[in-house]
Structure 1
């Protein structure tokens, strides 16, 4: 009888999840650090909540309210209670504030970065695990707190390396649309949420697609049908006119919206909030070019109760074929005054801003704006003699001690394999000390970046190559200084 074949699991990633490489992670860490410094400078405190929350604590505020049980990843604990992976940082914050309400200074201002999970259908660029970075103010009811969040979002864009004309924070107040719906007799909860979801898809589906979702419904490319809000043609036109009331300065938008809300007190409260936000932003130097009023911004989550906003990238990068890359929104937020009340029964005002780290960092990398640690040159000390590993590791340590990023080759192999490894790692300099160098008290340095350029120009730039040697030998006493000179040459 033959031996039973050993089971070998297939090496595969779960659907909708991704592995993130070193350059991606460095770009994300740099972005989180830049944003965290802004939050800290503005007086916010860091907080870290657990990945799991009790399912009941998350509530039914998922992006797709018609499938709340499918929107999160959940498991039953050994005590019979259901736990869910957090789908954002806001619902856990509401739980934290409710649990520690008496001990917190209010307003409570916190920021947090970490993974979140969505049990949704994955697609291109749409993952079920990703990183978000949030800042929130809990306990401040005035629109000035919302204005501060909008200004904070604009500062994060600057801190990420964007010029002011390369982004805009688009702002609206959900109560204005509520007022419009009241004016056409369509303010019931179910219809309101369908209108909000339809409006949130304007940039993706266009007016025609949104009109279908405001009416009977829409069938997408896969054949799936989404039920519409069932507004009559006149109601559809009024909502579309509301979404079109953008453009120009913030005061211009307010003037266009005023007739659409009619006598609705809810709509008037939203307009008053926008007027206060405009006054605060103008006073602190955030002009119409950095923060604009846009009625099409409604945000997808169901827990927003007032001002909402999105951070949109206006800068353009290009694919290899020359086609422009459209980045769109990389973050957003708004006011959510009802979340803490779910736990305490007491109204607690709150507002916050969040951005998707992976998406934002990928956009910055495409724009060539992701600097920091991933651009620090790497120096590799080649293991020329097998019995001198300790010496090579010590040399790498010397480089790190003076601030360089360095490693000693420990993978074995001949000189050719080690140099190929250095090239694939994108190293700037290779440090070589073989028996000849050691006996002569010297160190050989290979400028790998220059070597690659010389190789590319090997046919027609002979004189230039002779004037710029890609390899040099220096005395043992100044090899670290010479490494710095090579690195400085490329930096300049």
Structure 2
């Protein structure tokens, strides 16, 4: 009889493009989401939690920056008894589900409908450094009004959100542009209804951040050599045709009035371009009235990312402080949020245009920014650890933990092998515990406990002389009845 084949053990590895999040990271994200939700709630937005799975039909074209249908999502088919069934997919953002929700429940929802949503999204894309297939987004949208007051409100709320989570004024800038102005530029170029040429121009404009003014000029006309020496074909426009695009991208002036004047020159007589400039003017006036000056929110035509997707104003929140990259070079932290007006999304379901505008915040990037600024510790503080000196007195130790927890203090009893006390302190260090509580037989008999300040002890051990040890004790003996009071006192001193 043949020997049964031994099943190979599964590899304990994270799937490519995904990662695991541990205690402090999860806690920090939860706290950030709670803080952001507080700002959104203050602005009158309601929470919405929609399904993580949508039908492929409802999701539509999928990612706005991916050309091929069915690209960019994790999808599967629900097979029935006839080998047929709907195709389903994990949501790739929080906006496409909103369009379906609004179309489905519009008769029961107020108009306009303000909603915020937070949660993971999934994208079936090639992963890379810092680029994962699952990540968290935090969105806020207003559906059902074409008023520029909705767009101004979104920008103001984004500014308030950044400051509330810990990005100080001066370290960020919310920049605003308008797709209609670009459409006016395309008209001024004489492209008319040539959709292929317009798409080529849009793709080229999207490279402005990487290649700059001269690079865009070359790509719009005859082409250019890239950094590797390879030649990239140009769109084939004449220099005169390319000029309105360059004027649009470089129209930012010292103040809003100057910028708008430059944009008027770039769009010429295009009606849609003039309409777009009027919308930017309205947004600027509304923000000024609310006290949001150009040091917080500004009109900036160089914001080009996403212009192919949005139908009106677009926004991007950029963190302006410098960090060092992996090669030790200084660079700005960059964008943490983007959004804009998308008036065509709900129309797919209803057949009628429904105006909508909103933003999405990249939660992981914002957390990384706060760590760079030192606003969030790399490792969160762990629980107070009650050590076990006598396993037969576990009830005593559990009583201590219960007292601490009832007083609102995070605490746990050591549940490993208590034989080696040193291992208990090593465990507390690994947990990043602030305090260890010790009660041996002598302490029990005398009605006292030892309380060890692990944070101070670690600092003293790193740098202090023997004399300083004596001056700054890190272990205290207190009566058993003063356990909670002393632990709280030490925790307050650590904060």
Fold agreement, TM-score > 0.5: yes
Task: Note if 1:129 corresponds to 2:134.
Answer: yes
Note closer, same or farther for the CA distance 1:310–1:294 as it changes in structure 2 (3 Å cut): same
Task: Note if 1:87 corresponds to 2:88.
Answer: no
Query: Is the contact between residue 74 and residue 85 of structure 1 (CA under 8 Å) also seen in structure 2?
Result: yes
- The 3-state SS of whatever aligns with 1:5 is coil
Give the equivalent residue in structure 2 for 1:305.
311
Kindly state the Cα deviation for residue 342 of structure 1 after the two structures are TM-superposed. 0.9
Give the distance between the partners of 1:122 and 1:222, measured in 2 at CA.
23
Q: 1:263-300, CA deviations, whole angstroms, 9 ceiling, x for partnerless residues?
A: 10110010000000011000011001100111121332
- The 3-state SS of whatever aligns with 1:102 is coil
Query: Is the contact between residue 303 and residue 338 of structure 1 (CA under 8 Å) also seen in structure 2?
Result: no
Question: Which runs of structure 2 are paired with 1:263-302 in the superposition (5 Å)?
Answer: 263-300=269-306, 302=308
Task: Note if 1:465 corresponds to 2:474.
Answer: no
Give the equivalent residue in structure 1 for 2:163.
158
Kindly state the Cα deviation for residue 352 of structure 1 after the two structures are TM-superposed. 0.5
Task: Note if 1:455 corresponds to 2:456.
Answer: no
- The 3-state SS of whatever aligns with 2:338 is strand
Task: Note if 1:184 corresponds to 2:189.
Answer: yes
Kindly state the Cα deviation for residue 233 of structure 1 after the two structures are TM-superposed. 3.4
Query: Is the contact between residue 139 and residue 350 of structure 1 (CA under 8 Å) also seen in structure 2?
Result: yes
Give the distance between the partners of 2:393 and 2:228, measured in 1 at CA.
62
Give the equivalent residue in structure 1 for 2:487.
483
Kindly state the Cα deviation for residue 197 of structure 1 after the two structures are TM-superposed. 3.4
1:233 corresponds, among 239, 246, 254, to: 239
Task: Note if 1:203 corresponds to 2:204.
Answer: no
Q: 1:283-341, CA deviations, whole angstroms, 9 ceiling, x for partnerless residues?
A: 01100110011112133274310000001111334469864453200001110111111
Note closer, same or farther for the CA distance 1:206–1:416 as it changes in structure 2 (3 Å cut): farther
Q: 1:430-467, CA deviations, whole angstroms, 9 ceiling, x for partnerless residues?
A: 01112121111110111111111111124xx3322211
Note closer, same or farther for the CA distance 1:174–1:320 as it changes in structure 2 (3 Å cut): closer
Query: Is the contact between residue 55 and residue 74 of structure 1 (CA under 8 Å) also seen in structure 2?
Result: yes
Query: Is the contact between residue 64 and residue 71 of structure 1 (CA under 8 Å) also seen in structure 2?
Result: no
Give the distance between the partners of 2:230 and 2:158, measured in 1 at CA.
36
Kindly state the Cα deviation for residue 72 of structure 1 after the two structures are TM-superposed. 1.3
Q: 1:182-234, CA deviations, whole angstroms, 9 ceiling, x for partnerless residues?
A: 11123533333343333333324434554455456789789999876443333
**Higher mean displacement: 152-161 or 208-217:** 208-217
Give the equivalent residue in structure 1 for 2:375.
369
Task: Note if 1:42 corresponds to 2:43.
Answer: yes
Note closer, same or farther for the CA distance 1:222–1:62 as it changes in structure 2 (3 Å cut): farther
Kindly state the Cα deviation for residue 7 of structure 1 after the two structures are TM-superposed. 1.5
Note closer, same or farther for the CA distance 1:397–1:13 as it changes in structure 2 (3 Å cut): same
Note closer, same or farther for the CA distance 1:282–1:260 as it changes in structure 2 (3 Å cut): same
**Higher mean displacement: 136-145 or 299-308:** 299-308
- The 3-state SS of whatever aligns with 2:21 is coil
Give the distance between the partners of 1:131 and 1:140, measured in 2 at CA.
27
Gap runs ≥5 in structure 2: none
**Higher mean displacement: 397-406 or 91-100:** 397-406
Note closer, same or farther for the CA distance 1:378–1:209 as it changes in structure 2 (3 Å cut): farther
Note closer, same or farther for the CA distance 1:395–1:369 as it changes in structure 2 (3 Å cut): same
Q: 1:40-76, CA deviations, whole angstroms, 9 ceiling, x for partnerless residues?
A: 1111110011111111111225233422321211111
Kindly state the Cα deviation for residue 4 of structure 1 after the two structures are TM-superposed. 2.9
Give the equivalent residue in structure 1 for 2:406.
401
Question: Which runs of structure 2 are paired with 1:4-23 in the superposition (5 Å)?
Answer: 4-23=5-24
Give the distance between the partners of 2:235 and 2:54, measured in 1 at CA.
33
Kindly state the Cα deviation for residue 376 of structure 1 after the two structures are TM-superposed. 5.1
Note closer, same or farther for the CA distance 1:442–1:217 as it changes in structure 2 (3 Å cut): farther
- The 3-state SS of whatever aligns with 2:119 is strand
Give the equivalent residue in structure 2 for 1:102.
107
Query: Is the contact between residue 146 and residue 351 of structure 1 (CA under 8 Å) also seen in structure 2?
Result: yes
- The 3-state SS of whatever aligns with 2:264 is helix
Give the distance between the partners of 2:105 and 2:472, measured in 1 at CA.
65
Question: Which runs of structure 2 are paired with 1:28-67 in the superposition (5 Å)?
Answer: 28-60=29-61, 62-67=63-68
Query: Is the contact between residue 149 and residue 283 of structure 2 (CA under 8 Å) also seen in structure 1?
Result: yes
Query: Is the contact between residue 146 and residue 356 of structure 2 (CA under 8 Å) also seen in structure 1?
Result: yes
Task: Note if 1:360 corresponds to 2:361.
Answer: no
Give the equivalent residue in structure 1 for 2:150.
145
Note closer, same or farther for the CA distance 1:29–1:200 as it changes in structure 2 (3 Å cut): farther
Query: Is the contact between residue 62 and residue 92 of structure 2 (CA under 8 Å) also seen in structure 1?
Result: no
- The 3-state SS of whatever aligns with 2:284 is helix
Note closer, same or farther for the CA distance 1:262–1:42 as it changes in structure 2 (3 Å cut): same
Query: Is the contact between residue 316 and residue 367 of structure 1 (CA under 8 Å) also seen in structure 2?
Result: no
Give the distance between the partners of 1:275 and 1:441, measured in 2 at CA.
73
Give the distance between the partners of 1:355 and 1:135, measured in 2 at CA.
9
Aligned residues: 488
Give the distance between the partners of 2:336 and 2:100, measured in 1 at CA.
26
Kindly state the Cα deviation for residue 94 of structure 1 after the two structures are TM-superposed. 0.6
